[in-house]
């Protein structure tokens, strides 16, 4: 996730989410330990609760679209984190981020 606008005081314009870090921890990213440490050092996005995500899915009719629960957690968390944008290469998640106006565009910050 990214936050729109430039930051000051040396803060990163990017947020992390524990589900992304956890997904990457299940794999073998390059320089695994350093990558996970670096991601964990980013400011975390606000986390939507499981109940909030389930209500969001029902309210916005987000079922049957090919997005999984991690996708929905990321989208909901982006929406409740002030100024956050979602950067994804996942086509289906990207469509939903676009729908809600939270798509991160490369070079947009």
What does the pLDDT look like over 41-86, one tens digit per residue? 999 999 999 999 999 999 999 999 999 999 999 999 999 999 999 9
Dist CA 58 CA 51 (whole Å): 11
H-only helix segments in the chain: 18-25, 32-41, 50-59, 69-80, 91-99
Distance CA 78, CA 85 (A): 6
What single-letter DSSP state applies at residue 105? P
Question: pTM of the entire structure?
Answer: 0.82
* Residues counted in the chain: 109
CB 12 within 8 A of CB 97: no
């Amino acid at each position: 996730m990214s936050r729109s606008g430039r930051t000051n005081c040396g803060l990163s314009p990017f947020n992390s989410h524990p589900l992304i870090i956890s997904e990457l921890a299940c794999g073998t990213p390059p320089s695994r330990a350093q990558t996970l440490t670096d991601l964990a050092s980013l400011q975390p996005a606000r986390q939507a609760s499981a109940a909030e995500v389930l209500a969001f899915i029902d309210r916005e009719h987000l079922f049957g679209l090919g997005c999984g629960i991690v996708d929905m957690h990321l989208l909901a968390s982006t929406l409740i984190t002030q100024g956050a944008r979602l950067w994804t290469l996942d086509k289906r998640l990207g469509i939903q981020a676009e729908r809600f106006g939270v798509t991160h565009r490369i070079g947009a910050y």
